[in-house]
Amino acid sequence: MHFARSGSRLALVAVAVAGTVAVVAAGCTSNGKDSAGAVRVVAAENFWGDVASQVGGAHVRVTSIISDPTADPHQYESDARDAAAVSDARLVIQNGVGYDDFVTKLVAGTSNDQRVVLSVADVLHVTGDGVNPHLWYDVPRVPEVARAIESALAAADPRDRAAFAANLKAFDASLEPLDRLLGEIKTRYPRAPVAYTERVPGYLLDAAGLTIATPPGFAQAIEDGTEPSPRDTQAMDGLVSGHRIRVLIYNAQATSPVTQQVRDLARQVGVPVVAVTETQPAGERDYQSWQQHQLQALLTALGG
């Protein structure tokens, strides 16, 4: 769920004081490395920042702009500190497809000839209006993003190319438990019907071979920060109260009275509820542990 916003669904304020950006841009003389020679990386979100940290290891210094587990990422307002980080970075990682347009504005407002901007959406060839922007939930394709990050880091720091390659290999291997959980869900509960309050975990549910029963209009309205139509609300409530779904997946990071009502109804009638978040929670060790805990909770709920 995303609270009501004016203008475009994902319109964000890039920097509160435009003059600050101009000053930062004019003063940027860095080669994108810190005093120890580590590559400066800025990720729009902390999950992509975590992947970059794992691939880069000791040879990168990663700043993640969005890391607050209580914030709605779609409403994020960047500031002068973010502008300074982007201005000084050698590699900027953006999710793309409208999810974090504030990065585009920060890049446009700062000057750095050596900076590379990596769009995850471009790496995965995800384009078009209305696509699901929550690309980090597409676990089977995250290795493609990690490889793109590894290539960008190797180009920025050829001396440490071997270390980046080794870290990438280790990262890919660390995703195997997630692949096993996805396979187990697909085998034990083929095409089992589930519903979500919005599309945050959509790619993950598809990879697990589950059937998403949520009325499309309901999920779209929640994502747009508007009220679902009475017809879609009634259909969603009917899925839950009629036990026509095995699990309700609930975005616990950005909520509204409508999504809370659906969650409460599920609890009242005994439909298992699994909470997911858009931003990697502070208590999780890394991207893998976050997704593994959510997948394990889903597997357990399906068997409940």
In total, the chain counts a number of residues equal to: 304
pLDDT digits (tens, 9 = 90+) for 131-180: 999 999 999 999 999 999 999 999 999 999 999 999 999 999 999 999 99
Mean pLDDT of 43-59: 98
Tell me the residue type at 168.
L
Q: What's the per-residue H, E or C state across 82-110? A: HHHHHHHCCEEEECCCCCCHHHHHHHHCC
b/e code 156-188 from CB counts within 10 Å (16+ = b): bbeebeebbbebbeebeeebeebeebbeebeee
DSSP character for 276?
E
> What pTM value is reported for the model?
0.89
- Ordered strands of the 39-45 beta sheet: 60-66, 39-45, 91-94, 116-119
Q: How many helices (H) and strands (E) does the chain have?
A: 13, 8
Mean pLDDT of 67-82: 81
Distance CA 254, CA 74 (A): 10
Domains of the chain: 18-174 (3.40.50.1980), 177-302 (3.40.50.1980)
Radius of gyration of the chain (CA): 20
The mean predicted confidence, pLDDT, of the chain is 89
Question: What is the full DSSP assignment across 123-160?
Answer: HTT--STT----GGG-GGGHHHHHHHHHHHHHHH-GGG
At residue 35 the predicted structure's pLDDT band, cuts being 50, 70 and 90, is: low
What are 120's two structure tokens? 């995850």
d(CA 170, CA 46): 20
pLDDT of residue 30: 57
Backbone angles phi, psi at 43, to 5 degrees: -110, 140
Calculate the CA dihedral of residues 19, 25, 26, 31 and round it to 10 degrees: 160
Tens digit of each residue's pLDDT (9 = 90 or more) over 124-141: 999 998 899 999 999 999
How does pLDDT run across 265-277, given as a tens digit for each residue? 999 999 999 999 9
